[in-house]
């Protein structure tokens, strides 16, 4: 379970934020990747390869791939869980693991249009992640406020493209989420605002509260506003879940696409940390840190240490 919110219609900054909910931690690490890295799509036989054109700051999950991040040109990219995604059948195109999709996009492209122009160049494949079959969907945003949500439905790519696509949660598919949204009074229907933590209810609440954010005075208020909406969809530790025992929110992240600043907060810590990509963009070394360290707070660009490439 996860929730993503893009605030792209305020006059100050374009900011996107998201949460990660799961039955256990994905053990995120924070990475800086420089230009010029030789990359493999980890898609098995026929995997695509590329050389990074842009530097990026990303989060990894279990050190198997990038789950969220931003590049030096102001493109942000994300993967979220989407139960029921059916991947494309095998063909002659190079393959790309779904957990490498974020890095594939951030390494090579600067706008949503560029990502979509090259989306069909590769065939996205699924793999076990930490022993789990992980079905995913994808989102990208850029400095103009453009946005796209990309799903795999019945073995085909389905793209929703435009700045109006500002909220993403999990299943069902986006067309069904939008149809459900119209049933609620704030969006033309009769139902009151829902309070559950299931994906359709979080989708409704995130849309509602995003629409009611006050005009911000500065970029900090934009980031705070986005995180406040995401926080309204979060699940506290210990909250019971019928299928998994508990299913809490482990972290929040936000990308200020305008200022090229990336924020992270572990729900095990009261502190938010951030990285200014401009301070790192010309570095030639892979760098990382453990953002779950409860002592970290504030700006941590200088704390990312040179390290080996993990995936």
CATH code assigned at 111: 3.60.60.10
* DSSP tally for the chain: helices H, then strands E: 6, 24
SS3 40: strand
pLDDT category, 243, cuts 50, 70, 90? confident
Question: What pLDDT score was predicted for residue 156?
Answer: 96
Specify if 311 maps to a domain: no
Specify if 82 maps to a domain: yes
Question: What pLDDT score was predicted for residue 241?
Answer: 79
**Structural domain tally of the chain?**
1
Specify if 156 maps to a domain: yes
Burial class (CB in 10 A: 0-12, 13-18, 19+), 144: middle
* DSSP 8-state secondary structure symbol assigned to residue 184: B
143-162 pLDDT, tens digit per residue, is 999 999 999 999 999 999 99
Determine whether 236 is an active site residue: no
Does residue 63 have a pLDDT over 90? yes
The catalytic position among 2, 115, 148, 275 is 2
Q: Distance between CA atoms of 33 and 309, rounded to whole angstroms?
A: 9
Whose CA is closest to 286, among 75, 35, 72? 35
pLDDT category, 247, cuts 50, 70, 90? confident
Its pTM stands at 0.97
* DSSP 8-state secondary structure symbol assigned to residue 203: H
Question: What pLDDT score was predicted for residue 245?
Answer: 76
Specify if 152 maps to a domain: yes
Does residue 115 have a pLDDT over 80? yes
User: Domain span at residue 87?
Assistant: 3-306
Specify if 245 maps to a domain: yes
SS3 243: coil
Q: Which helix (H) or strand (E) holds 221?
A: helix 219-232
Question: What pLDDT score was predicted for residue 240?
Answer: 83
């Amino acid at each position: 379970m996860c929730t993503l919110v893009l605030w792209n219609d305020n006059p100050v900054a374009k900011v996107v934020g998201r949460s990660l909910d799961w039955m256990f931690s994905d053990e995120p690490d924070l990475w800086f990747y420089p230009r010029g890295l030789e990359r493999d799509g980890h898609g098995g036989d026929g995997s695509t390869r590329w050389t990074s054109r842009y530097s990026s700051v990303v989060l990894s999950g279990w050190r198997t791939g990038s789950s969220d991040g931003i590049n030096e040109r102001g493109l942000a990219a994300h993967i979220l869980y989407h139960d029921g995604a059916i991947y494309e059948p095998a063909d002659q195109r190079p393959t790309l693991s779904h957990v490498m999709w974020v890095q594939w996009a951030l390494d090579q492209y600067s706008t949503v249009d560029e990502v979509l122009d090259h989306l069909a160049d590769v065939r996205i494949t699924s793999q076990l992640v930490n022993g789990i079959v992980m079905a995913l969907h994808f989102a990208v945003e850029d400095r103009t406020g453009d946005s796209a949500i990309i799903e795999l439905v019945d073995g085909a790519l389905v793209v929703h493209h435009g700045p109006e696509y500002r909220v993403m949660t999990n299943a069902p598919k986006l067309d069904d989420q939008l149809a459900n949204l119209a049933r609620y009074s704030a969006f033309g229907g009769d139902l009151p605002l829902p309070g559950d933590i299931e994906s359709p209810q979080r989708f409704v609440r995130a849309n509602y509260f995003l629409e009611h954010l006050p005009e911000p005075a500065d970029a900090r208020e934009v980031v705070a506003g986005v995180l406040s909406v995401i926080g309204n969809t979060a699940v506290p530790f210990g909250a019971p879940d019928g299928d998994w025992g508990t299913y809490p929110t482990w972290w929040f992240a936000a990308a200020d696409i305008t200022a090229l600043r990336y924020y992270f907060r572990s729900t095990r810590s009261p502190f938010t940390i951030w990285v200014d990509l401009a301070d790192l963009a010309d570095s030639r070394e892979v760098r990382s840190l453990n953002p779950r360290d409860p002592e970290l707070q504030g700006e941590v660009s200088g704390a990312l240490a040179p390290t080996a490439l993990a995936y």
